Amino acid sequence: MALGVPAFPFTIVTHVLGVVDVVLVLVWLLHFRGGLAWESDNKQLIFNIHPFLIVLGLIFHGGEAIISYKSLPLKKEVKKLVHLVLHAIALILGIVGIYTAFKYHNESGIANLYSLHSWLGIGVIVLYGIQWIYGFVIFFYPGGTPDIRRFSLPWHALFGLFVFVLAVGTAALGFLEKLTFLESSGLDKYGSEALLVNFTAIITVVFGVFVVLSALADAPATADDYEAI
Ligand code: HEM
């Protein structure tokens, strides 16, 4: 389905929202939560790497990878490479981000995989991995036959959007869960940190909406189009 409107205004808003989202998460973790650390006696600092890498990776880089075909007036082959590399960065940051949640749990003696958030999170990363490997093999190397590529493309696009929307929903659940933990431990429900976390989750969701709108809008004219004229 295409909206029949140019993608440009949507992609600009998407870039801005994505940068704002990453900055807000960093402000939260650095200003309110004591920062980030790979090794520390304060295990909360290890946990803090989790939301940062996930928002930077699966959300920001994942969203930018999806809209790369709509935001860059470049040749198709170049856009394909950008798409593939941005998704690879998203996937790697996502895997390391999830690893830090397990590391935090294990070093703090907390059980693993007890929440809806964590179950959906495992689903997201597994589906993201499958989607990336299938895309790589069929569209990049060694590449499928023209028939297989033609058949796969709409399913690849649809499934990619589905996994991204699932990632956004899982991230929103993660913010909710963390804030609920903090509020149960005494954090002011209407204080500035609570407002910041809820607002960051809203920006994450709105970013997701604009990624989908950009994906459904029309791509800008490319160098290929000009060569065809
Ligand atoms: C696509 C986004 C995300 C994915 C795929 C994801 C994945 C996961 C996974 C698999 C776990 C389980 C770790 C374990 O059981 O040891 C986990 C834990 C956790 N995550 Fe996320 N996460 C995401 C985003 C976020 C965000 C943005 C936050 C915000 C703070 C967050 C907060 C938490 C919390 C509080 C836990 C520990 C409690 C629990 O296991 O549910 N997550 N996450």
pLDDT per position as a tens digit, 2-46: 788 999 999 999 999 999 999 999 999 999 999 999 999 999 999
User: Residue 217 C-alpha to ligand 1 middle, in angstroms?
Assistant: 31
- Per DSSP, 138 falls in state I
Ligand 1 atom closest to the Cα of residue 120 is 5
Residue 140's contacts (CB-CB under 8 Å, 6 or more residues apart) are 80, 84
Pocket test for ligand 1, best of 53, 117, 131 (most atoms within 8 A of CB): 117
Residue 164 pLDDT level (bands cut at 50, 70, 90): very high
Residue 228 pLDDT level (bands cut at 50, 70, 90): very low
Pocket test for ligand 1, best of 44, 46, 48, 50 (most atoms within 8 A of CB): 50
- Quick check: 229 pLDDT over 70? no
Residue 190's contacts (CB-CB under 8 Å, 6 or more residues apart) are none
Q: How far apart are the first and last CA of the chain?
A: 26
Task: Return the number of other C-beta atoms located less than 10 Å from residue 209's C-beta.
Answer: 15
| Cα 210-21-33 angle, rounded to 5 deg | 155
CA distances from 31 to 46, 162, 165, 177 (A): 16, 33, 29, 20
What is the C-alpha to C-alpha distance for residues 29 and 23, in angstroms, rounded to an integer? 10
Q: Give the residue-averaged pLDDT of 60-83.
A: 95
Beta bridge pairs of residue 218: 6
pLDDT per position as a tens digit, 75-129: 999 999 999 999 999 999 999 999 999 999 999 999 999 999 999 999 999 999 9
User: Residue 102 C-alpha to ligand 1 middle, in angstroms?
Assistant: 9
Ligand 1 atom closest to the Cα of residue 115 is 41
Q: Tell me what pLDDT residue 16 has.
A: 98
Q: Tell me what pLDDT residue 1 has.
A: 61
| SS3 state at 6 | strand
pLDDT per position as a tens digit, 141-157: 999 999 999 999 999 99
Q: Tell me what pLDDT residue 102 has.
A: 98
Residues with CB under 6 A from ligand 1: 50-51, 54-55, 58, 98, 101-102, 105, 112-113, 115, 117-118, 121-122, 124-125, 167, 170-171, 174-175, 177-178
Ligand 1 atom closest to the Cα of residue 178 is 35
Q: Tell me what pLDDT residue 130 has.
A: 98
- Quick check: 223 pLDDT over 70? no
- Quick check: 225 pLDDT over 70? no
Q: Tell me what pLDDT residue 40 has.
A: 98
Q: Tokens 């569209």 belong to which residue? A: 139
Lowest mean pLDDT among 22-26, 68-72, 131-135, 151-155: 68-72
Ligand 1 atom closest to the Cα of residue 112 is 15
pLDDT per position as a tens digit, 182-208: 999 999 999 999 999 999 999 999 999
- Quick check: 227 pLDDT over 60? no
Smallest CA separation from ligand 1 atom 28, residue: 174
